[in-house]
Amino acid sequence: TAMLEVAELRHSYGSFTAVQDLTFTVATGELACIVGPSGCGKSTLLRCIAGLIKPTDGTVSLHGDLIERTPSDLAVVFQDYSRSLFPWLSVRGNVEFPLRSRGIGKSERRRRSAEALEWVGLSGAGAKYPWQLSGGMQQRVSIARALACQPSLLLMDEPFASVDAQTRFELEDLLLRVRHEHSSTVLLVTHDIDESVYLGDRVLVLSKSPASIVADLTVDLPAE
């Protein structure tokens, strides 16, 4: 069954069309990567799916419900971790923040934040503040925060593009591990074709701006 359904999506900024006529679905449990050149409209597409901007035309549905505002069973990880964490909250406070706004009680928040921080290898860092952490660690916190929400759909916008190569490999493998353990549904956009093939069960290739799908590939690599 489709977790996400994007139908004839178009988005224009004034007279400039960034995304054009996009139609695709993401099945429950799938890790789909969207790959395309910089500036082709990937972030625009993700923002439309996240309900952060309203598409000019077309529809986005999450398990059958039209997305109007950001649904609470969706979480997003952005490239720019330095702007995504609250500097005045501890690591634990950051991870628990969206749980608090979802009305989840304190003991459950503690349980989920501890679990998510363990997944990303930051068990000992709950009391630290973002500025005390390296960039790669801050991005781990952003990922922990998204995972703690246990979203039906995890959206990731170039999540590993701003971390060093070693951290990137670790976080990629972390994503693969967590998604296998939890059968998460993930839609990740990247400009890196290697990354999309390494991570994705499926790779949707976008054209240059305005983005439209030029290939929809199922990745089925032989086991090593």
> What torsion, rounded to 10 degrees, do the Cα atoms 10, 196, 114, 163 define?
-100
List the structure tokens of 202: 């499926």
**Residue 66, H or E segment:** strand 65-66
86 vs 169, beta carbon nearer ligand ADP: 169
Among 10, 42, 109, 112, binds ligand ADP (CB under 6 A): 42
Q: Is 121 in the site for ligand ADP (CB under 6 A)?
A: no
Alpha-carbon distances, residue 223 vs 90, 173, 197, 216 (angstroms): 41, 15, 14, 22
Please state, in angstroms and rounded to a whole number, the distance separating the CA atoms of residues 138 and 36.
26
Pick from 6, 30, 44, 85: which binds ligand ADP (CB under 6 A)? 44
Which residues ranging from 187 to 206 are in contact with ligand ADP (CB under 6 A)?
194-195, 198
Query: Of the two residues 40 and 95, which places its CB atom closer to ligand ADP in the complex?
Result: 40
Dihedral sign for Cα 196, 118, 62, 39, please.
Answer: negative
Contact region with ligand ADP (CB under 6 A), list: 42-50, 75-83, 126-134, 144-152:
42-50
Q: Out of 8, 27, 38, 135, which residue is the one contacting ligand ADP (CB under 6 A)?
A: 38
Note the residues at the interface with ligand ADP (CB under 6 A).
13, 16, 18, 36, 38-44, 169, 172-173, 194-195, 198, 209, 224
